Amino acid sequence: MTAPRTPLWRNADYMLLWGGQVVSTLGSTASTIIYPLLILALTGSPGDAGIAGALRALPYLVLSLPVGALVDRWDRKRVMILCDVGRAIAVASIPAAMAFDALTVGQVYAVSLIEGSLFVFFNIAEVAALPRVVPAAQLPEAAAQNEAGFGAANIVGPSFGAFLYQAFGRGVPFLVDALTYAVSVLSLLRIRAPFTSAAARRGERVPERRDLRSEVAEGLAWLWANPLIRFMAFITGGTNLVGAAAPLLLIVLAKELGARDAEIGVIFSAAGVGGIVGSLVGGRIQKRFAFGTVIVALMWGMAVLFPLYAIAPSWPVLGAIGALLFFLSPIYNVVQFSYRLALIPDRLQGRVNSTFRLICFGLMPVGAALSGFLLERFGTGPTIAVFSAWLAALAVLTTVNRHVRHAPPLAKAMAA
């Protein structure tokens, strides 16, 4: 007879991890849309704003593979705490420089790069740590709850950040972001479960470490030998390219339609509403429908909705389209994330996830920079056309991929 599972809300370690990251995400979303607004205010150049987004995403290209191997060696909790401390100091430097009228675009770029670099360490450690606080059978439920919490933060954060930016000054959203990193640190310190490997928890002798290159190669080999996970990494990277381009595109579109900064915050909050609704249904969809059916349908949904930005007559309509697109995103994340995480061996979690995320995050700096370049040189219409064609191509590739169409149910895949 199977013992009843403890509900997630009664799992204290998971709730501390989840709660700390929701608060941190609230601060990050409050400041994220302020980066392009701040640079546009300083320089008036969408290209310069695109560079800031690219620098924030660039570290994944350089760091993710070695970081994945290092995270499998190190205490993951300690890594996460040190990263949050570093990110708090970095973002707090922006309002500090403003107080002395010394802020430059170069400093904003440097903070973006530092914050992005520490995010690589934190994110890979966090993903590898989740199976340490949640049983494998509850990973889809935990992924859905994560998406719901982050979706709620995405609803409140943009409007909150825009309000702080207009009402109290340009540096206040960054100060709030720094404080939320401090909250995350406190929540991590209270978690009792170790984030180390299962063998270490049982007191087994840790095997002698090989060289870093061999450990990285092992993670690469596992992912490359799994054609479904490999393909999902590339498709996720393709959608993330558009996701990295979308915020600046939305800001420029909204300004063309006469939206003020506070109304731009409302647009992003409306998109967040779609995100939280999607996260609430993501777990049910994952259980009810086949993996391939869901992934193909979601890819075509994105391909059909994105071009509608070009014909939006007003900024509220932009928000509505964004809400529909953001509704699809967490469903995709819940389905592919829980499927992938359950299949990866514990000892390879950091390395395989870092390889996956190198591919799926690697195109984000390209998307952010390309968005700024296209907007500055050609305007919003051609920019939307380029990214719409890209999404359509991804949908076609997903539809014809036999590994996606015939992916086994998660339980059968884990038993294989």
Q: Which of 286, 88, 287, 270 is nearest to 177 (CA)?
A: 88
Separation between Cα atoms, residue 272 and residue 254, nearest integer Å = 16
Query: Range with the lowest mean pLDDT among 107-121, 256-270, 386-400?
Result: 256-270
Q: Which of 6, 57, 73, 78 is nearest to 357 (CA)?
A: 57
The domain limits of the chain are: 10-196+212-415
Q: If pLDDT is split at 50, 70 and 90, which confidence band does 414 have?
A: low
Q: If pLDDT is split at 50, 70 and 90, which confidence band does 3 have?
A: very low
65: alpha, beta or left? (left if phi > 0; alpha if psi -120 to 50): alpha
Q: Cα dihedral angle (134, 59, 148, 303), rounded to 10 degrees?
A: -120
Contact 8, 14 (CB under 8 A): yes
Query: Tokens 């969809």 belong to which residue?
Result: 285
Separation between Cα atoms, residue 201 and residue 213, nearest integer Å = 26
Contact 126, 80 (CB under 8 A): yes
- Would you state the pLDDT for residue 211? 64
Q: According to the per-residue pLDDT averaged within each range, which of 6-20, 115-129, 236-250 is highest?
A: 236-250
Please give the average per-residue pLDDT across 129-138, as a whole number: 78
- Would you state the pLDDT for residue 385? 96
Mean per-residue pLDDT over the chain, rounded: 83
CATH of domain 10-196+212-415: 1.20.1250.20
- Tell me the CA distances in angstroms from 284 to 148, 287, 319, one per residue in order: 13, 5, 26
Share of the chain above pLDDT 70, in %: 91
Structure token digits, residue 360: 């799926």
Share of the chain above pLDDT 90, in %: 26
Query: Range with the lowest mean pLDDT among 41-55, 103-117, 224-238?
Result: 41-55
- Would you state the pLDDT for residue 200? 46
Please give the average per-residue pLDDT across 300-319, as a whole number: 94
Separation between Cα atoms, residue 160 and residue 30, nearest integer Å = 6
Question: Residue type for 66, please?
Answer: P
**For the segment 21-63, what is each residue's pLDDT rounded down to a tens digit?**
888 888 887 777 788 888 888 888 888 888 887 887 788 777 8
